[in-house]
């Protein structure tokens, strides 16, 4: 079993979080700690794909949903908790950070899958 787990850990950064393939460097701020330029894969809706919430009576508000994948070790072993805020810069070296709420967080074999939600104008 140890050989399999070692192979999975090697694949985390070597394949899925590979900066030449899927991942990009982002700075993540969570629970008062800053994790600079870690490899992250962010998927989900972009601004042009957002839908207005049917239940909202205020115009111009949209629910933004994204999923962030990163290695648990890259966040210092801290798994984000549901309901907490997390900030992620839009691009490597960028100074603009987008604020999200953690909708859910799952860690399997050292890989985090964090669902992010925010109401944006």
Cα(49)–Cα(62) distance, rounded to whole angstroms? 10
Q: What is the dihedral of CA 43, 29, 33, 35, to 10 degrees?
A: 60
DSSP-derived pairing of the beta strands 33-44 and 62-71: antiparallel
The stretches of the chain forming alpha helices (DSSP H) are: 2-11
Task: Spell out the domains of the chain, with CATH numbers in brackets.
Answer: 2-120 (2.40.10)
Q: What is the pLDDT along the chain (121 residues), one digit of tens a residue?
A: 568 777 777 777 778 898 888 899 999 999 999 999 999 999 986 544 445 555 555 555 556 689 999 999 999 999 999 999 999 998 888 889 999 999 999 999 899 999 999 855 5
Give the pLDDT confidence score for residue 39 in this predicted structure: 95
- Model confidence, pTM: 0.77
Q: How far apart are the first and last CA of the chain?
A: 48
């Amino acid at each position: 079993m140890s050989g399999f787990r070692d192979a999975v850990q090697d694949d985390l950064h070597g394949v899925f979080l590979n900066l030449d393939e899927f991942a990009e460097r982002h700075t993540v701020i969570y629970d008062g700690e800053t994790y600079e330029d870690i490899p992250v894969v962010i998927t989900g809706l972009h601004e042009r794909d957002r839908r207005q919430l049917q239940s909202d009576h205020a115009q111009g508000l949209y629910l933004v949903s994204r999923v962030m994948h990163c290695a648990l070790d890259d966040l210092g072993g801290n798994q984000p908790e549901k309901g907490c805020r997390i900030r992620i810069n839009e691009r490597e070296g960028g100074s603009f950070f987008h604020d999200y709420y953690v909708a859910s967080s799952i860690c399997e074999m050292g890989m985090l899958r964090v669902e992010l939600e925010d109401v944006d104008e």
